[in-house]
A and B are shown apart, each in its own frame.
Chain A
Amino acid sequence: MSEFNVVGKREPMLDAWEKATGKAKYTDDLSLPGMLFGKILRSPLPHAKILKVDLTEALKVPGVKDAISGRDIPKRKYGIVPKAKDEYALAIEKVRYIGDEVAAVVATSPEAAEEAISRIKVEYEELPAVFDPLEAMKPGAPIIHEEVPDNVSATIRKEFGNVAKAFKDSDFIFEDHFETQPVNHCPMEPQAALAMVDHFGKVTLWSSTQIPFFLRRNLATTLDLPESKVRIIKPKVGGGFGQKIDLYAKDFCAAFFAMRTGRPVKFVYDREEVFTCTRQRHPMYIYLKTGVKKDGTILAQQFRVIADGGAYNSTAPLMITLACFFIMLPYRIENLLFEGYHVYTNKPVGGAMRGHGIPQVRFAVETQLDIIAEKIGIDPLELRLKNAFQAGEPHPAKLLVQSCGFSETLKKAAEAIGWREKRGKLPFGRGVGLAGASFPSGVSNMSHISSGAIVKIERDGSVTLLTGAADIGQGAETVISQIVAEELGVRIEDIRITAADTEITPLDPGTFGSGVTLRAGNAARMAARAAKEKLLEAIAEKMEVSPGELEMKNRRIFLRENPDRGFSFEEAIKIYQYSDRPMPIIGRGSYFPPAKEPTTLLHEDGNFSPAYSFMTQAAEVEVDPKTGRVRVLKMVTAHDCGKAINPMLVEGQLEGSVVGGMGQALYENIIMEKGQVLNPNFLDYGIPTAMEIPSIESIEVETNDPEGPFGAKESGEGTQLSPAPAIVNAIYDAIGVRFKTLPVTPDKVLEALEKRER
């Protein structure tokens, strides 16, 4: 028998039934009496000065209640990273990309709102625009933000070891250029917000957000209100993948119009807005130089990474930093130089997306490792094993890796894909490939990353759990409930959870950086433990033993040494009450990831995540040489997630993530022409459908991390780092063509094959 009752079980998600039957309420499903519908007018120009916005005709449309432009809003900038704020909720002086917000209206019907925005007259003075980051970096390029005359809004330069010497000592040097494309998160639920203002002027906003508490802060800033006047409630959220960590115009406009009109206001983005006006994964130009010894030991790596940020920063400094930090694992690299640039262009905005800056660079590293392996005549798997980082090793940049199952993931993934039998041995058109990666379980050294939880044991033996964690479909509420149930020795159905309401639930940073299970899970476990201790104290008194001798399991409290002596949970609660102790039994927990060696990420070395996960993806592909179509037949994902609190949810995360990675490798691409997105819909944007999904084998490697709750670490985000290189490496094995630009679409494969024939 397992040592746990609830943790480690394949519990269905708590809201699976609700969602599968269509009963779950997302933001757009909510409505309030007298509610108005909003619509945003967006810029048709990639770069222009706004000379005049005339709202008169819009206000004449029957049903229209209010209209605003950038001139009407508080001049308060916002941004998800405090030092990189560069955006107004509506553009004030100029627009910087096609889709930038210019004005907004509210009306009694969505039809009237649509009609009204078509009547707004805007006078622009068009400015020269720039669409390529390499062009934007050149002197004399159009300046997109006056404060950033060179258009480079975030940089990182990190160096350790002695790179020049290491290259000199290398037997082989490899230099390659890689390019990745923009892809969209495509959450099934488009961004939406509903706002209401009460008699005291407090704004309540229901929003499809990943980070209610950050949103409260950003919204309060843009509305020029104290945080206490803003309440954020997160209803069901239909996926985020990083796209819902930013504040958007819809949040601000819903709240601002609610304040102006006194009526509830709803804004819902349509799919085109999701594609064009939210966030996307940064396209990157990557130059990578690697020096190795004859035996395959990596001596040094040098990177020059140029990320196309689009018109605004969003997470720019963090993104480019993460891109750098996560090439320092999972391989041992003693000498490294990384130069990264986030560059403004007049295009849709880059932001956090599953893997956050890392998948692009990972693609370069893992593709080049295969190039290296071939050149020096080592099996790509051996090359990776040889350089794989191990737990407890001193890290050249002082990362603290307490648990690391990377080598094991490599071996298991290779075995599952049939590496020894297949690599280089399949007929033309079939091939296998693999790639590794590492990812943080939350970031430790930033402000505002504490998680809180409250656990109440009620009189009827049920448990109320308050957590700030934001479940956006990944199952956070289920997993945190499992953790509390396990700690209290009750069933998962005994837990009633209230989550992600800034007025009721304790502070939580929200869903990003793969820290939820670790952070919020630890906080909830601490809260459960605190409540449990109170109860045990009363029972120990009654049984005349010390609390330490008692155990709480299977809804009973009993003597560890003599399990027959004890009470049921309900009896125990009665005993507690009759001992004149105060009800309810409340436990509180606050968790801050330990900063063992604090770093601000950017400047000093040091540890920055409480735990690191490790993974390997392996792929088998089939390439049709007649048409160039690549089919992924099988994906293996071996993931060290510490401990799977809920293996079924971990598998769900891994599978979804693999498919996303496959999308980037083969299908997805935001195609742009002069700053306009040509395919802002699911017809032309090739997100994989059920028809494309390969067979997926998920292998969980459990390493029981000392910091994570019950040993748990990240799962599902890091998984998206290396499906693309695994697939691209498999394509090479299949047809002998190496692709360094994504996505690998049939036309490119066909062309490459034709070229080779000639």
Chain B
Amino acid sequence: MRLPKFEYIEPKSLKEAVKNLSADPSGTYLLAGGTDLLVNMKFGVITPARIIHLKSIPKLSYIIEEKEAIRIGVLTSLRDLYTSPLIQEKFSILSHAAREVGAYAHQVMGTVGGNLCQGNRCRFYNQSPFWRSVRPPCFKAGGEICHVIKKPRECHSTYCGDLAPALIAMGARVKVLGPQGERIFPLKRLYSFNGKKPLSLRKGEIIKEVIVPQSSGKGVYLKWRWRGSIEFPIVSLALYIEKEDNKISLARVVFSGVGEGPVEASGIEKMLIGKTLDDSIIDSLSREVPQTVSPMRTSIYSPAYKRKMAGILLREGLDRLKWIN
């Protein structure tokens, strides 16, 4: 499978990139590490008229610690992220998540921004033109119907990124630059939960930086897949809690692989508040999980299996955090 033809732009600054992107937002795509975009282009599900290569812009790869937060440049590679002593020490949930992405090649090429903005996935969509020719094109690929739920004009393709759940659990925000200037908003709001257009970025906007607040709590990232490398999460969990007097004062429970965006299990979060983690709490909460997530049959794994594993991951995560103050 070959790349289709496209116009290629190497901007010198983010501003220039925003200008180029705003000129024709629907036909223009940003290229960072390319590990997601180029695959989709070879599959012919994305056919940009124009590509803007962000890596030609200097000074977008950095990790800077400040008093309130750390700032991560959007072009920071996943490998730079997880090899950073600062991240390893203070934000181990992040370094774990980054280390779990794909295989080594993806970690070297792939960027933080690309990871957050990667396309949603579906077994009917992330396939070659030949594969897809067996059925009429689906809604996301420009057709009318969805093969997953057999309804017209709906798409439930699934968000499968590893970083977003960890960052959302840490309360991260993103800084974006657009034609109207900069704005900062919680990362969670980047995701629209619309399978066909999963990101809420406005016309011409580009992510510039991720801001992660300094934290006093503890987190874990647990990714479930069958092999130790390459695969996206079948389901993964980012869990973050803060405690006061051994009682949970803040909890964030975010899943990947089970919805149209990173799924925050706010019901479970609420149930955790004020609790002391003991076996019976852990048991009852983990049993809740399968009912609180509703994955679709967008991968080779069944929704029931994903739900079951989500509960098992929460149990494992809470078990690990049980002893930590």
Binding partners A and B:
yes
**A interface residues with partner B (beta carbon < 8 Å):** 42, 44-45, 98, 110-111, 114, 118, 270, 272, 626-627, 629, 667, 671, 676, 678-680, 682-684, 686, 688-692, 745-747, 750
- What would 9 more interface pairs be, CB under 8 Å, given A626-B315, A667-B226, A682-B230? A44-B134, A111-B5, A114-B2, A272-B130, A272-B131, A627-B309, A629-B226, A683-B230, A686-B226
Cβ contacts B1-19/A at 8 Å (1 or 0 each): 1101100000000000000
Q: Closest CB-CB distance, A319 to chain B, in whole Å? A: 28
Q: Say yes or no: is B26 at the interface (Cβ < 8 Å to chain A).
A: no
Residues from chain B with a CB closer than 8 A to the CB of A680 are 131
Query: A731–B133 Cα gap in the complex (Å)?
Result: 41
Q: Closest CB-CB distance, B134 to chain A, in whole Å? A: 5
Residues from chain B with a CB closer than 8 A to the CB of A746 are 226
Q: Closest CB-CB distance, B48 to chain A, in whole Å? A: 16
A626 touches B316 (CB 8 A): yes
Cβ contacts B161-178/A at 8 Å (1 or 0 each): 000000000000000000
Given A678-B123, A684-B300, A691-B227, check contact A114 B1 (CB 8 Å).
Answer: yes
Residues from chain A with a CB closer than 8 A to the CB of B315 are 626
Contacting residue for A118 out of B129, B134, B305, B312, CB 8 A = B129
Chain B interface size, as a band, is 20 to 34
Query: A42–B131 Cα gap in the complex (Å)?
Result: 10
Contacting residue for A689 out of B5, B230, B299, B308, CB 8 A = B230
B131 touches A626 (CB 8 A): no
Contacting residue for A692 out of B5, B227, B305, CB 8 A = B227
Q: Say yes or no: is B224 at the interface (Cβ < 8 Å to chain A).
A: yes
Residues from chain A with a CB closer than 8 A to the CB of B1 are 114, 270
Given A626-B316, A679-B300, A747-B305, check contact A690 B128 (CB 8 Å).
Answer: no
Contacting residue for B308 out of A44, A679, A684, A750, CB 8 A = A750
Cβ contacts B226-258/A at 8 Å (1 or 0 each): 111111100000000000000000000000000
Q: Closest CB-CB distance, A620 to chain B, in whole Å? A: 18
Query: Lowest 4 CB-CB distances: which A-B pairs, in order?
Result: A691-B228, A689-B229, A44-B133, A44-B134
B300 touches A690 (CB 8 A): no
Q: Closest CB-CB distance, A444 to chain B, in whole Å? A: 41
Q: Closest CB-CB distance, B135 to chain A, in whole Å? A: 8
A42 touches B226 (CB 8 A): no
Nearest CB to that of B128 among chain A residues? A272
B2 touches A691 (CB 8 A): no
B226 touches A110 (CB 8 A): no
- Ordered by A's residue number, 28 sampled pairs between the chains whose C-beta atoms are within 8 Å are A42-B130, A110-B2, A111-B2, A111-B4, A270-B1, A270-B128, A272-B128, A272-B131, A627-B224, A627-B312, A667-B226, A671-B300, A676-B134, A678-B123, A679-B300, A680-B131, A684-B231, A684-B299, A686-B227, A686-B231, A689-B103, A689-B227, A689-B228, A689-B230, A690-B229, A691-B228, A692-B227, A747-B301
Q: Closest CB-CB distance, A116 to chain B, in whole Å? A: 12
A667 touches B300 (CB 8 A): no
Contacting residue for B312 out of A626, A684, A688, A692, CB 8 A = A626
Residues from chain A with a CB closer than 8 A to the CB of B130 are 42, 44, 272
Residues from chain B with a CB closer than 8 A to the CB of A678 are 123, 300
Query: A747–B234 Cα gap in the complex (Å)?
Result: 12
Residues from chain A with a CB closer than 8 A to the CB of B131 are 272, 676, 680
**Which of B103, B230, B232 neighbours the largest number of chain A CB atoms within 10 Å of its CB?**
B230
Query: A689–B230 Cα gap in the complex (Å)?
Result: 8
Residues from chain B with a CB closer than 8 A to the CB of A111 are 2, 4-5
**Which of A111, A679, A688, A747 neighbours the largest number of chain B CB atoms within 10 Å of its CB?**
A747
A745 touches B226 (CB 8 A): yes
Query: A45–B135 Cα gap in the complex (Å)?
Result: 10
B227 touches A667 (CB 8 A): yes
Residues from chain B with a CB closer than 8 A to the CB of A689 are 103, 227-230
Residues from chain A with a CB closer than 8 A to the CB of B123 are 678
B226 touches A691 (CB 8 A): no
Cβ contacts B265-304/A at 8 Å (1 or 0 each): 0000000000000000000000000000000000111000
Residues from chain A with a CB closer than 8 A to the CB of B2 are 110-111, 114
Nearest CB to that of B134 among chain A residues? A44
Q: Closest CB-CB distance, A97 to chain B, in whole Å? A: 12
Residues from chain B with a CB closer than 8 A to the CB of A691 are 227-229
Query: A682–B134 Cα gap in the complex (Å)?
Result: 21
Q: Closest CB-CB distance, B283 to chain A, in whole Å? A: 13
Q: Closest CB-CB distance, A469 to chain B, in whole Å? A: 35
Nearest CB to that of A270 among chain B residues? B1
Residues from chain B with a CB closer than 8 A to the CB of A686 are 226-227, 231
Query: A676–B130 Cα gap in the complex (Å)?
Result: 11
Given A111-B2, A114-B2, A272-B131, check contact A683 B232 (CB 8 Å).
Answer: yes
Residues from chain A with a CB closer than 8 A to the CB of B103 are 689
Q: Closest CB-CB distance, A190 to chain B, in whole Å? A: 12
Query: A272–B132 Cα gap in the complex (Å)?
Result: 12
Nearest CB to that of A743 among chain B residues? B226
Q: Closest CB-CB distance, A535 to chain B, in whole Å? A: 54
Query: A299–B60 Cα gap in the complex (Å)?
Result: 74
Residues from chain A with a CB closer than 8 A to the CB of B305 are 747
Q: Closest CB-CB distance, A628 to chain B, in whole Å? A: 9
A683 touches B231 (CB 8 A): yes
Q: Closest CB-CB distance, B26 to chain A, in whole Å? A: 23
Query: A691–B227 Cα gap in the complex (Å)?
Result: 7
Nearest CB to that of A273 among chain B residues? B130
Q: Closest CB-CB distance, B172 to chain A, in whole Å? A: 27
Query: A690–B104 Cα gap in the complex (Å)?
Result: 12
Nearest CB to that of A45 among chain B residues? B134
Q: Closest CB-CB distance, B188 to chain A, in whole Å? A: 27
Nearest CB to that of B124 among chain A residues? A678
Query: A48–B225 Cα gap in the complex (Å)?
Result: 38
Query: A98–B131 Cα gap in the complex (Å)?
Result: 9
B300 touches A688 (CB 8 A): no
Query: A665–B134 Cα gap in the complex (Å)?
Result: 31
Residues from chain A with a CB closer than 8 A to the CB of B5 are 111
Query: A682–B102 Cα gap in the complex (Å)?
Result: 11
Residues from chain B with a CB closer than 8 A to the CB of A747 are 301, 305
Cβ contacts B117-161/A at 8 Å (1 or 0 each): 000000100001111011000000000000000000000000000
Residues from chain A with a CB closer than 8 A to the CB of B4 are 111
Query: A380–B108 Cα gap in the complex (Å)?
Result: 48
Q: Closest CB-CB distance, A50 to chain B, in whole Å? A: 15
Query: A546–B223 Cα gap in the complex (Å)?
Result: 76
A692 touches B232 (CB 8 A): no
Query: A626–B301 Cα gap in the complex (Å)?
Result: 18
Query: A683–B35 Cα gap in the complex (Å)?
Result: 13
Q: Closest CB-CB distance, A104 to chain B, in whole Å? A: 13
B228 touches A692 (CB 8 A): yes
